[in-house]
Amino acid sequence: MKDRIRNLLKSSPLSTLVNRRDQGLTVQGIPRNKVENVDYLPDWARLLGSERSFWEERLKRCVGAPKILLPTTVGGMAALSSMESLLAVSLTLRGFEVHVLLCDAALPACLRVEHTTIKDPKDIISSEFQSIICKTCQATGEYLFSALGIHIHRLSELVTSEQRENAKLKSQEVAFSEISSLKVSDIPVGEHAYAGTLRYFASGNLDDQEMGEAVLRCYLEASIVTMNAVSELANRYHYQSSCFNHGIYCPHGVIGEVLRSKGVKVSTWNIAYRKKCFIFSHDDTYHHTLLNEPNANWEDIEFDEPAQKQVLSYLQSRLNGSRDWIWFHEKPQEDFKEINKTLGLDLTKPIIGMLTNVMWDAQLHYEANAFPDMLSWVFETIKYFSGRTELQLVIRIHPAEVRGTLPSRQPLLAEINKQWPTLPENIKVIGPESQISTYAVMDKCDSVIIYGTKTGVELTSVGIPVVVAGEAWIRNKKVTRDASSVEDYLQILASLPLRQRLDETTQKRALKYAFHFFYRRMIPLRCMGKTGAWPPYKPAVRSLKGLLPGVDIGLDIICDGITQGKEFIYPAEDYVLRRQRVLSSWRRKSAKLNRWIRRPERAKSMETRLQSLGVQKLIILNERSQKRAEGLAQRFRSKDRLQIQIVDQMHEGILSEALGSGPAILFVDIQDDRSSLIASLKSPTVQFVSLQKRLDTDSDEDNTYDAIHQTLEQSGFRLSRKLEDTICSINGHPHMIETIYRRI
């Protein structure tokens, strides 16, 4: 009897579901529950499984081809390794032999060690942190790369036990004061070890950090081990080029130094401000390259009125971060009258703004800096303005001190208070936690002094004079006053106030650089989707063919830059006019259509027709579509208001019983999750789908719109000819296109 029951269970549908679930829990021998943020990572095993023969054929073509190294190392930093797994696939599809370097708990300290996770420095010194983070870090890296069938190297395989002992001994022998400038085999391991240690402590120096020296020696040992491993790897394989994230700290800063010394072309990358965009640089970290980029890269580009409008529109959006990955204020306080009730500024006296940085961030050596560090600059500036009582200084402490990925453990205000328990009356401070809009205050300033903030690009674009004392990217662009020494800086301050904005020529030059910075250096990737979680993005491809050359312009630029040394510049100026023509064409058609439907008998044709078809319910996937649904419900010619229902996106498939009977219309926002959309479409109740797309000159979501269109067609929905003439209602916005689909 037991055998009969067992056999029946084996052949049952339930058994099949259980087997599929168990298979999904393990990928290439890696338990899913050991992988960090696995639901927000690309599932290459599944994607390649449906195109295995195509992928295997591409891998065979790459044997003996030029070699590209992606030394990801820290696989557990999902936002970094996810992007580099996309590069691994894309470069393979372009015929290159891709190699990946991963850490397998071989380093005594690394980029993955952060004070938010490893709170006690003793855990670094004792190597206890490895039991906390290394297993999941390794599992995440293996999950992303092992399914690809490319060459994977691991750090522990590239260093000998003797090299490890020597690294440990060297890290203990060197004097503490000499570590930051230490070079081994002409590789500046000390600089990156020191920067990595400051990053861990989230502090601008180690003076007040308990066990700071001991942790620094761990990072130094890790840097030397990394140097030996990468040197060995480069000697075994003659890599044509390499690409990796950051380009600073440990291990990536050391990796870059070693590869450059071996003659390997190096490219580095980082996430950009604009959504779905990334910054790539040649030879060095973008912290350096954007300072020294030749002005010829952008001075002579076509910068006509549409391009100016586009960048101005984006700069306006920076007030609330609506088009950015990263922003620091959900609802900034922008009313200056209300702001000044807090600050108490005398509006009859000139105001000078001062914008700071997070002290620990990217602590590297910059030749042109007027000061050795930001704290010295802050102290010197306060000292100077304490003697200029006819001027007012407003210091805006960077919000990232409390809202950044790694909140600072060395608050600037505390450092200021040590020197000045009571600040002079003419000096005001806006704390990092304040919701006061930086832009609203700086707009009232005569001029603004900055150290390394990127805000200088925005301020000069709207005509605000800027003084640069540090490594801000607006330096060297001939639109700011750049100080290269303390004496030079004090002379510039002596010329304040300026009492005038930038002249028209200089402001237009600044605006042109802003266009270059935000639209050309920030390369958009259509193949990268948003997750709404962490990491904030993951490759959004349904087929490997979506990563082939010629499909995604941004991806082509990145791959050509890595492999051929071409500039990492997206020719945004070539696409502005194209989008402008599309928008202008739609505006003309919309205006014409609006004239047609303004007759009373046609004004509510959409509602009338939907009523005649028996629509009883309006369904939305999230609150973004609430207003549209409510507007239609109010206009509907019916005694009873239509019911509006939000579908639970976590529901495993949507049952018709849950939605009720009768035809329903589903409102779809192009940001909606595709899996939620498919689940909703499974209900026979849904007879109509209203898909709305915003036509914007800065829209990067065309591919999402197309993807949803394909999903609808694959699910048995077609454009409804009966409702075609109601694309734009009498109250319709000319920048909106709404399309109705009907179940066939």
Look at residue 232 in the predicted model and tell me its pLDDT.
97
Do 227 and 352 belong to one domain? no
Residue 312, exposed/middle/buried by CB under 10 A (0-12, 13-18, 19+)?
A: middle
Q: Are residues 80 and 161 in the same domain?
A: yes
Indicate if 110 and 238 belong to the same structural domain: yes
> Which of the listed residues 501, 520, 539 is the one where a domain comes to its end?
520
Same domain, 480 and 459: yes
Q: What is the rounded average pLDDT of the residues 108-137?
A: 92
pLDDT winner (highest mean) among 583-592, 606-615, 651-660: 606-615
d(CA 35, CA 520): 35
Our measurement of the distance from residue 1's CA atom to the centroid of its chain's CA atoms, rounded to an integer in Å, reads 60
Helix 626-635 and helix 605-612, axial crossing angle in degrees, nearest 10? 80
> Are the C-beta atoms of 118 and 132 separated by less than 8 Å?
yes
d(C-alpha 92, C-alpha 61), whole Å: 9
* Structural domain contains residue 296: no
pLDDT of residue 28: 54
Say whether both 57 and 123 belong to one domain.
Answer: yes
Q: Does residue 619 belong to any structural domain of this protein?
A: yes
Q: Calculate the alpha carbon distances from 125 to 113, 212, 214 in Å.
A: 12, 10, 7
Answer yes or no: do 665 and 648 share one domain.
yes
Residue 649 has pLDDT above 60, yes or no: no
Mean pLDDT of 696-700: 46
What is the pLDDT, as a whole number, of residue 728? 38
pLDDT band for position 18 (50/70/90)? very low
Rg (CA), the chain: 29
Q: Is residue 649 part of a domain?
A: yes
When mean pLDDT is compared across 336-345, 483-492, 591-600, the lowest value belongs to 591-600
Mean pLDDT over the full length of the chain: 82
The confidence score (pLDDT) of residue 644 equals 80
Asked which of 403-407, 497-501, 512-516, 683-687 is least confident by mean pLDDT, the reply is 403-407
What is the C-alpha to C-alpha distance for residues 328 and 400, in angstroms, rounded to an integer?
A: 7
Out of 307-316, 373-382, 584-593, 728-737, which region has the weakest mean confidence (pLDDT)? 728-737
pLDDT band at 514 (very low <50, low <70, confident <90, very high): very high
The answer on pLDDT for 734 being more than 60 is no
Structure tokens belonging to residue 339: 């702001």
Question: Residue 738's pLDDT band (boundaries 50, 70, 90)?
Answer: low
Residue 480 belongs to some domain of the structure: yes
CA angle 666-668-672, nearest 5°? Answer: 130
Terminal Cα-to-Cα distance of the chain (whole angstroms): 49
pLDDT at res. 726 = 39
Which tokens hold the place of 77?
């930093």
Domain count, the chain: 3
Do 485 and 602 belong together in one domain?
no
Of 520, 554, 576, the residue that ends a domain is 520
pLDDT in tens, 319-375: 777 778 766 555 778 899 999 999 999 999 999 999 998 766 555 545 557 788 888
Supply the pLDDT for residue 287: 79
Shared-domain flag, residues 45 and 174: yes
Same domain, 172 and 77: yes
CB 688 within 8 A of CB 716: no
3-state helix, strand, coil in the chain (%, to 5): 45, 15, 40
Residue 551 and residue 497 share a domain: no
Residues 275 and 354 in one domain: no
> What does the alpha-carbon distance between residue 199 and residue 380 come to, in Å, rounded to a whole number?
25
- The answer to whether residues 72 and 252 touch, using CB atoms and an 8 Å cutoff, is no
- Residue 346's domain spans which residues? 303-520
Residue 723 has what pLDDT? 41
d(CA 666, CA 148): 38
In the predicted model, is pLDDT for residue 410 greater than 60? Answer: yes
Residues 331 and 440 in one domain: yes
Can you give the CATH number for the domain in which 516 is found?
3.40.50.2000
Residues across the chain: 744
